[in-house]
Structure 1
């Protein structure tokens, strides 16, 4: 069996049960629990001595990046919504397990003042900042455009467009 086949067969395969969650949702409540590299990613020290801030660092792509960066030698600060504390705590523990400095910075990137303080806090707590990953994002499914509320549109635009700037 080829290496690729072995890796492909190592992961769960669809179909998966429907698992609706109230946004933002928690990776820890998904079945199967998603693989963000917790066990599979091996670092090589490519980011040794670097300091990174990752928004949306508690789950999905942000979680995978936080784990990878720590395993590559970076100290990592993650930002996440306060209601995602359970997932964020797991990521902080994984970063620390790599012997890296891990900083938890909960808050909502839709708030401009919070964003300004977020960067300052990351710089202060990490002792500098070399990498910024603007990963936090928001989306919501609607059957039709008519179902999209002004509140949904505003929250999405503020998260996905305003926050990175």
Structure 2
């Protein structure tokens, strides 16, 4: 279950190249992106099911799992990649409704999707969550976002312990600055100037450089990985 653009698109295409059939959950106003990703997956001769759904409606997101299972019958890999971020430099002005919706979009739906997916998973299945470098470095302008990403780290490590005896692996990926549609959508245009240039590599990452981490964690080669966080960014950023 992955988003339809940016890192999600790269994950979908790369996993399709490895032989996976894909389901993509997307917001209704992102249908064009979803269809483009579907076409890229199908170009790899794999199936791609599009599921329009707002995951902040986490109380009824079992319908997403139902749609996937009706199409494919089971879940081998669950990628929890959907999320949102908004910037606010003055904490006194932070909108608590925005905080609530960020938690709904980034962590509550992850709990719900995973809960409903588990009955359809099996020994050897893999759950891969998207967190962020800001969990470990902190950020002055996205405190709610960083808090949810920190919660995802705790969720990942704790769920890994919970499921290890069932043979289901749970891990996460924590990218550094990556140039995706989420970035310009969440900040003024002037703040995109020089985005990522302060990183030690002198540039932001690209989604295609992040996706291999997910493919590795989905593969049998990562059987020793339980509760681990992969960091695809230069050490010390």
**TM-score above 0.5:** yes
TM-score, reference length from structure 1:
0.64
Q: Write 1 or 2 for the structure with the bigger share of helix.
A: 2
1:119 aligned onto 2:65:
yes
State the partner residue of 1:105: 51
TM-score, reference length from structure 2:
0.45
Structure 1 residues 114 and 93: alpha-carbon distance in aligned structure 2, compared to 1, 3 A threshold: farther
SS in 2 for 1:143: coil
Q: How does 1:10-159 map to 2 (within 5 A)?
A: 53-54=1-2, 57-159=3-105
Contact 1:80 1:108 survives alignment (8 Å):
yes
4+ residue runs over 2 A deviation: none
State the partner residue of 1:37: none
SS in 2 for 1:129: coil
Structure 1 residues 114 and 62: alpha-carbon distance in aligned structure 2, compared to 1, 3 A threshold: farther
Number of residue pairs matched by the alignment: 111
Unaligned runs of 5+ in 1: 1-52
SS in 2 for 1:163: helix
Name which of structure 1's ranges 114-123 and 86-95 shifts more when overlaid on structure 2: 114-123
Cα distance in 1 between the residues matched to 2:58 and 2:7: 23
Unaligned runs of 5+ in 2: 112-237
Contact 1:58 1:87 survives alignment (8 Å):
yes
Quote how far apart the aligned CAs of 1:126 are.
2.1
Structure 1 residues 60 and 147: alpha-carbon distance in aligned structure 2, compared to 1, 3 A threshold: farther
